[in-house]
Structure 1
Amino acid sequence: MSTIAVLGAGAWGTALAKVLGDNAHAVWLWSRDSEHVEAINRSGENRRHLPGCSLPATLRATADLEEAVGDSDWILLAVPSAAFREIVARLAPYAPPRLAWATKGLEAESGGFLHGVVDKLLSPPPAMAVLSGPTFAAEIGRGLPAAMTVASTCERFAADMVAAFHSERFRLYTNPDMIGVQLGGAVKNVLAVATGVSDGLGLGANARAALVTRGLAEISRLGDRLGADPRTLIGLAGMGDLLLTCTDDQSRNRRFGLALGRGATIAEALESVGSTVEGARTAGELYSLAATYEVEMPISAAVHRLLQGEIDPGLAVRELMERAPKPEL
């Protein structure tokens, strides 16, 4: 059995750490909050972020980064994208040979993909892997069935991750397309804000289906320019994650959009969700990325303009519907 460090003791990191621990791996769950760590170890549960899910005896929380990563066979980051660069930089002294992440988003400073941050900050670059797909932490924590995709720069690392996570309730598929897997996980959060706004305005199921479908077209156009495999974008990390995030109220991004559509301010909407809303930040980075590659992404652009205060939800819908007619394909 492996020793694995999971960095990030939010709901997502805890759920993934629980899967690994339930499979008898030794797991360090790291948080910078020592009081949170003590509470997890004392109760055997992350009551702050994943209440009601008992953690296995093979899992131990720590606030000591060196203790977490020092003897680990590989590291899994499950931190918000805004914190990704900082945590990767803190790993540099340990020269990790294998680094995976389950973070979904674009890098805050550059607006680029997260593997670029790892390439830049860690020398020599480790074997890298990204884990993505249609999953909610609460359901993973309760042991409900789920499937995800892992893309890696190293086939052996991907195979080891599949073996580490595999169980009768959790399945991983391998995929060599690092760009496509990261792209799907980032853009779907922005599109989930859009579908939430639409439903908050009461525009109905037809509008929701149109937004999801045309949103997938936006992901595909950008993916084509970036060299992503189109098959990735209709798989678990693309269409699968998009459908889940846009249609279920467990999605923080969707709930944020719902609040905006119902008249909340951005600050009120963020407060109502109460935790990280990746789509609220990724919208600006995605807007810049699309502009750089000259890719038309009207739904994503509308979300960006809405969050910048340039338009209100009603105007965003009108502008999308009043665009000049064009072929679907």
Structure 2
Amino acid sequence: MAERKAALLVMGAGAWGTAIGSRLASNSGVNVRLWSRSEKMAKLINESRTNQGYLPEIHLSENLTASSDLTGLISWLKNEPEDTIKCLLLAIPSKGFYQICSKLQQFNLQNLIFVSLCKGVVSFEGKNYFPSEIIKRYFPKNDVCILSGPSFANEVARGLPFAISCSSDDLNLARKLSIVLNSEGMRVYAISDNIGVEVSGAMKNVLAIASGVCDGLSLGLNARASLITRGMAETVRLGVALGADKDTFLGLAGAGDLFLTTTGELSRNRKVGKEIASGGSLDEILSNLGHVAEGVTNAPKLLSLGKALSVSLPITKEVCSLLNKKKDAREALDSLLKREPSDE
């Protein structure tokens, strides 16, 4: 394989942005910079080689450089040699996603590839959009890719092996970027189904809350497996209604990420569900979590999308009932169990 030449600017120094930035910085021929809102955090990352706020015990790549100077970072990226693949990786939660895109509009970003790492739904001007759609609204002439799959930030930052999907409307672009990002212990597979990948990424967080409730109520492994499977059916129904390829939901961004997030001990959304089942206050749970739990903010958005398309999302509906305190965990479970029998 020819030597890679890539310059990557990762926007967002949270757990996922830091983890993927550190991992990619170890790739030969790949130059990585990390943008942090906080000058203090950027300085600490550069000096201590750790992100004390999100990954405190993990030593980051010596090749990763952090900065809060967005203008300087954009200038660096644009001034890399012409034969370099130049990408902006947006590791921004859905809640602040369009604000970052708006902030980036002040720069001339012609010929840069945008890569969304966000797993959620973005509310913008009274409507709900997936992250790649927001990017296209702000930067209609730029290419857009999505990275998604089973990838807990903690394990990625520690150098443990994993596999992930890279999606683009242009399959050749997805393949090109996959070659750049692929490395030992990090397998990147190309796919061309942005909607399927993004629906999967958003839905799995909601279903992880439901799975956490199931575990918190000690309902057993059979119940959890049934819940996850029916949750996958919800995801497929919504995705296909939006134009996704059904096969995507059996891949890394679909089944892979769903299984990990609904069963893994490192899952923040699953933890939220477990603590709700134990009677915890949602505000308190989120405050103690210290990280974003995308399922909490995205459940009502996904339910709204389902209603608009006449797609049944019963598990998502009950998660919403839990989150807005209309029902407790037992009542939500009873509502699911008392539904009329139907064909699978």
TM range (shorter): over 0.9
Counterpart code for 1:163: I
Q: What CA distance in whole angstroms lies between the structure 1 residues aligned with 2:323 and 2:311?
A: 20
Q: What CA distance in whole angstroms lies between the structure 1 residues aligned with 2:54 and 2:180?
A: 23
- Match in the other structure for 1:106: 121
Larger mean CA deviation between 163-172 and 285-294 belongs to 163-172
Deviation for aligned residue 1:216: 0.4
- Match in the other structure for 2:133: 116
2:75 to 51, 59, 70: 70
Deviation for aligned residue 1:201: 1.2
| TM-score for both structures, normalised by structure 1 | 0.96
Look up the SS of the partner of 2:61 in the other structure.
coil
- Match in the other structure for 1:27: 32
Deviation for aligned residue 1:134: 0.7
Within the alignment, does 1:10 sit opposite 2:27 as a pair?
no
Residues 50-65 of structure 1 aligned to structure 2 (within 5 Å) = 50-65=55-70
Look up the SS of the partner of 2:167 in the other structure.
strand
Q: What CA distance in whole angstroms lies between the structure 2 residues aligned with 1:216 and 1:30?
A: 35
Look up the SS of the partner of 1:310 in the other structure.
coil
Deviations 1:21-80 (A, max 9, x none): 100321110011111111111112222212233223321100011222223211101011
- Match in the other structure for 1:95: 108
Contact persistence 2:171–2:191 (CA under 8 A): no
- Match in the other structure for 1:272: 288
Q: What CA distance in whole angstroms lies between the structure 1 residues aligned with 2:198 and 2:108?
A: 23
Count residues with an aligned counterpart: 327
Residues 241-280 of structure 1 aligned to structure 2 (within 5 Å) = 241-280=257-296
Within the alignment, does 1:319 sit opposite 2:339 as a pair?
no
- Match in the other structure for 1:292: 308
Counterpart code for 2:143: A
Look up the SS of the partner of 1:94 in the other structure.
coil
- Match in the other structure for 2:97: 84
Counterpart code for 1:207: A
Q: CA, structure 1 residues 138+162, in 2 after alignment: closer, same or farther (shift >3 Å)?
A: same
Contact persistence 1:7–1:30 (CA under 8 A): yes
Deviations 1:160-206 (A, max 9, x none): 32122211200000000000000100000000000101111111111
Structure 1: where are the runs of 5+ without partners?
A: none
